[in-house]
Structure 1
């Protein structure tokens, strides 16, 4: 069922979509689900597909003229449309299939509003593109406030390492200054980006190409930017077609420290 506020603004649409997908993911958790092979060891489950269908229903009802790029259903509408939604209905499918609750539901309007829902905590992190909040059931929305106080840094260790030998995330963990200043965590889902925006993590680091238009990363990047985090590629350049990977940090000091370590390894 689409929330009554879903047509009021883009942030409400993103939030309603993420919540609808999270409801499906939570309901189907623990069931024996058929795996849909996507090649190269990747797969989807019936929960991925069902959650995406629910999210698309929300977007179509509220924004019928917008294009959508879904992780499971692909492109719908013109790829170069002025308004395009990016949907990852279950980020952390491997975790989910293994009975691990560290997953996220990501919905983002390219260069606009976005939402990341945690199906099991009930938290929905969302932004209108300028400010970022977290919503709990039955509680007032709270502003996201990044902080590096936890000293916890999530690092994506999934292979392959496309920037090797210049950069490998696993090498960052062995850097003496990293060992001295931070504590590593490996969440294996972009929920970690929402946690950077919310102050639950000091930073998040991943390799890769242009992540700005990725169904996996767009919502988390939008949250971090709106919350005031420092967001660049692993080379320090802005996220975009010429960039590579992602470093999202709670503050300038943390970002600077991580960039110095990455450059020294390169």
Structure 2
């Protein structure tokens, strides 16, 4: 499956970290959890905090010299460390807080291994940066195979809207060509990117700035790239640097259709 010994070890750390976080998220699901206000309508819960602690425990034990950027704890470790892990312990906190199971746990090594765990299905989607796989306890690993056959496109409708008024993701749904070719879904979590890589979604679209090293998106982007998806910003530029937002599509045709609609709206 994955040949490099170093890559294999990093993948194992990513998977173990994502699973440790997922165990916490699953265990705390359904409890009354206090919200930790972050401002602008954003918040965390005790599950976010405890899941991140569990993930950090795995990374620190296996890679004590690596730095970590966590959504809740911020930057930890040496600022000049050669390697950095990006951790989103609970992507989809709003879903989780209202009892929805559409959430994910993300662990990614910059320019390396990454894993996205679904706490409730038991699935872990992972990559060494070159190939992408799905693991479920009791079954063999399956390579991810993106396809647009579902015609389902997840669109992130959450604020902020940095490209407005020129472009807002919600405007994409009003494009006549969208209804002719696709059906909208709204997940607003990295789980959607894992589903694009796995063939459960045709594409995912979100506005934003440079998302390449975002704790929310890095693992999902790594999965999609390794699976062979077409990944760009909403302006068609490569993700990172000058790229804005994200369009991750199963194939060139789907990506081209969506980009033509985005250009119509801008």
TM-score, normalised to structure 2, is 0.96
Offset, 1:251: 0.3
Provide the rounded CA distance (Å) in 1 between the counterparts of 2:161 and 2:80. 29
Aligned to 2:22: 22
Task: After TM superposition, give the deviation of residue 247 of structure 1 in Å.
Answer: 0.2
SS in 2 for 1:9: helix
* 2:203 corresponds to 1:173: no
Aligned residue pairs, count = 261
Q: Note the 1:119-130 alignment, pairs <5 A.
A: 119-130=119-130
CA positional deviation for 1:80: 5.1
Partner of 2:260: 260
**Contact 1:203/1:248 (8 A) holds in 2:** yes
Q: 1:89 to 1:99 in 2, by over 3 A?
A: same
Tell me, yes or no, if the aligned pair for 2:23 and 2:119 is still in contact at 8 Å.
yes
1:252 offset after TM fit, Å? 0.4
| Counterpart residue number, 1:211 | 211
- Please name the residue that 2:3 is paired with: none
Q: Return closer, same or farther for 1:230/1:7 CA change in 2, 3 Å cut-off.
A: closer
Unaligned runs of 5+ in 1: 1-5
Q: What residue in structure 2 maps to residue 251 of structure 1?
A: 251
Q: Matches of residues 50-129 of structure 1 in structure 2 within 5 Å?
A: 50-79=50-79, 81-129=81-129
* 1:241 CA displacement: 2.1
CA distance in 2, matches of 1:179, 1:81: 48
Q: After superposition, give the CA deviation of every residue in 1:36-74 in whole Å (9 maximum; x if it has no partner).
A: 111111111110010000000000011100000000000
Alpha carbons of structure 1 residues 231 and 195: separation in structure 2 relative to 1, 3 Å: same
> 1:34 Cα shift?
1.2
- The C-alpha deviation readout for 1:236-263, integer Å capped at 9, x for no partner, is 0001121110000000000011001101
> Deviation string for 1:60-112 (max 9, x for gaps)?
01110000000000001244532100000000111101001000000000111
Q: Determine the C-alpha separation between the residues in 2 that align with 1:76 and 1:129.
A: 24
RMSD of aligned alpha carbons: 1.3
Q: Extract unaligned runs of 5+ from structure 2.
A: 1-5
Cα displacement string for residues 215-256 of structure 1 (whole angstroms, at most 9, x for unaligned residues): 000000000000000000000000112111000000000001
SS at match of 2:64: coil
Corresponding residue for residue 235 of structure 1: 235
Structure 1 stretch displaced more, 159-168 or 56-65? 159-168
Tell me if structure 2 keeps the 8 A contact 1:232–1:248. yes
Q: Which residue of 2 aligns with 1:39?
A: 39
| CA distance in structure 1 between the partners assigned to 2:7 and 2:228 by the alignment | 27
Say if 1:244 and 1:93 are closer, same or farther in 2 by CA, change over 3 A: same
Aligned position for 2:162: 162
